[in-house]
Chain A
């Protein structure tokens, strides 16, 4: 479903502070599987995830989604892909402060211009499912860590994208909340979704919900455990 062919990424290219965050990466990610990218800090996990999710372009190499080469697409089409194919859960969850939980969840769908009541109902359903229905109208800054994470997941699911991309989703969570997150991942997989996430938390990559673990170091893949 998603494949990367000899993908590399340079940041600050041509400047003294040039960094090669990913080098010559070849990777195939299957549909309806849970994949974890793991490795120490600076190993290139987030960069790889960003390239898969069309958040950034590889410097060299190509990224394919459902057989279509997406890494060279114009910005407009990459946005369309981010909207329809991917849902994102960021490391710090990146909910927008000052607006309510449900408004945050509705945000990714807003540019599509759906009927307001239909969209609100859809967002409310996502929140109910993740146990946040009662907190829909609460400003996000009043949520606990676990609630914030679930709100971020609800936002990632609002457009019913087939791929969930999560960057260190449990980095700031305790064991109970990490377990709850893995249960949600299992439920999503059961619904047919593909989950790709980064983590250096052994509780994640040793979980039974995870199908593939991609080990990285210094911008390279050093092993794939299926």
Chain B
């Protein structure tokens, strides 16, 4: 083992020296390689982050949402419907939800006003919790500056900001304003006991179709939206965007294939001569291949690392600025939001498998040819 390690040290030393000898060529190689990895990794990370954000949204939503429709349009729903739904077997809980949109003409931004159903967000009248994007839209110098908005009745209303949401829920909360039920009803001039919609949680998710069937009998004019419906909607949106990303990734893979094929097409005369010298002075085929594997590994792993780190910074620190017009179109809500850092390990492994492994394998072909030839022939 000690002997093997020492041998690897000599090979690594020689490899580093070889890389340094051809520093211009190798630097160019690493730059091109890193750009390809960067493009692929950015697309993958962006996709994974969006899915993660979507997962955050869905994880907190009830299994079934019931909305009142009048002439095909969404209307407020009466509180009396809650009791009807609660009477259906298999329903765990039923809660009326209050939410709505508000256009803040001062800042030119749309906000989502909502009454929280989570006890941890219980708010006193006059209090609010804001999404991170709202502060940015208002260009606040401090996060908890009071929010002044004009109610439906034209009255200026002040909310004291208790806290702002963390970035990891940005897709859900960027434009969100949580206020108490009393403030919501007063702000939008709503009578008591009407709700925007009703959230239903179900004991056994497998029974959802049966429960929806029963609920339709009780509320024939309502629309029933299950969590799987929302998932499908997200999926459609992702599919469309991912098609573009796939095209982008395909271009990256194609560039990589050309790059790897070029590498596989042969060694430079200097590299072939060097292999011949090494073989002539006593290195065997395995030594030469191991040395070149070190070289290929250092280049490809270095480029993989650089490309991935830059992609991470691009996606999560610079909001995927280069791809935003293509990839984030569906999700451009105002105020803007930052994606929560999330990296899918499987995707990283896939990226590694489609970049590092083919490159390393491609470099082996000409090396194998040179290393198995007579050293005399290589040197001639």
Interface residues of B (CB under 8 A from A): 3-7, 9-11, 13-14, 17-18, 20-21, 273-274, 277-285, 287, 372, 374-377, 379
- A112-146, CB < 8 A from B: 112-116
What residues on A are CB-neighbors of B279 within 8 Å? Answer: 79, 82
16 other A-B residue contacts (CB within 8 Å) besides A98-B20, A110-B287? A55-B374, A55-B375, A55-B379, A56-B376, A75-B285, A79-B284, A82-B281, A88-B281, A94-B280, A96-B274, A99-B17, A107-B283, A110-B14, A111-B283, A116-B10, A159-B282
Chain A contact patch, size range:
35 or more
B379→A111 contact, CB < 8 A? no
In the bound complex, how far is the Cα of B281 from the Cα of A159, in angstroms?
10
What residues on B are CB-neighbors of A112 within 8 Å? Answer: 7
In the bound complex, how far is the Cα of B213 from the Cα of A126, in angstroms?
92
What residues on B are CB-neighbors of A76 within 8 Å? Answer: 284
With A55-B280, A75-B284, A98-B20 as given contacts, are A50 and B4 in contact (CB-CB < 8 Å)? no
A116→B372 contact, CB < 8 A? no
| Nearest-neighbor residue (CB-CB) of A114 within chain B | B6
A94→B282 contact, CB < 8 A? no
With A107-B281, A113-B10 as given contacts, are A55 and B3 in contact (CB-CB < 8 Å)? no
What residues on A are CB-neighbors of B280 within 8 Å? Answer: 53, 55, 82, 88, 90, 94
CB proximity of A154 to chain B, nearest CB, Å = 12
| Nearest-neighbor residue (CB-CB) of B282 within chain A | A83
Most chain-A Cβ atoms within 10 A of its Cβ — which of B5, B274, B280? B280
CB proximity of A95 to chain B, nearest CB, Å = 8
What residues on B are CB-neighbors of A116 within 8 Å? Answer: 6, 9-10
With A55-B376, A94-B277 as given contacts, are A111 and B282 in contact (CB-CB < 8 Å)? yes
CB proximity of A57 to chain B, nearest CB, Å = 7
A108 within 8 A of B: yes
What residues on A are CB-neighbors of B3 within 8 Å? Answer: 113
A168 within 8 A of B: no
Chain A contact surface mostly: helix
What residues on B are CB-neighbors of A94 within 8 Å? Answer: 273, 277, 280, 379
CB proximity of A12 to chain B, nearest CB, Å = 10
A113→B6 contact, CB < 8 A? yes
What residues on B are CB-neighbors of A75 within 8 Å? Answer: 284-285, 372
A96→B277 contact, CB < 8 A? yes
B278→A50 contact, CB < 8 A? no
With A97-B21, A98-B21, A107-B14 as given contacts, are A82 and B285 in contact (CB-CB < 8 Å)? no
| Nearest-neighbor residue (CB-CB) of B4 within chain A | A113
B17→A103 contact, CB < 8 A? yes
11 of the cross-chain contacts (CB-CB < 8 Å) are A55-B375, A75-B285, A76-B284, A84-B282, A107-B283, A110-B283, A111-B283, A111-B284, A113-B6, A113-B7, A159-B282
A107→B278 contact, CB < 8 A? yes
B281→A115 contact, CB < 8 A? no
With A56-B376, A97-B21 as given contacts, are A108 and B7 in contact (CB-CB < 8 Å)? no
With A79-B284, A108-B282, A159-B282 as given contacts, are A57 and B374 in contact (CB-CB < 8 Å)? yes
With A82-B280, A82-B282, A108-B281 as given contacts, are A90 and B379 in contact (CB-CB < 8 Å)? yes
CB proximity of A21 to chain B, nearest CB, Å = 10
The 5 closest A-B pairs by CB, nearest first: A83-B282, A98-B21, A110-B10, A113-B7, A56-B376
| Nearest-neighbor residue (CB-CB) of A87 within chain B | B281
With A55-B374, A75-B284, A110-B14 as given contacts, are A115 and B6 in contact (CB-CB < 8 Å)? yes
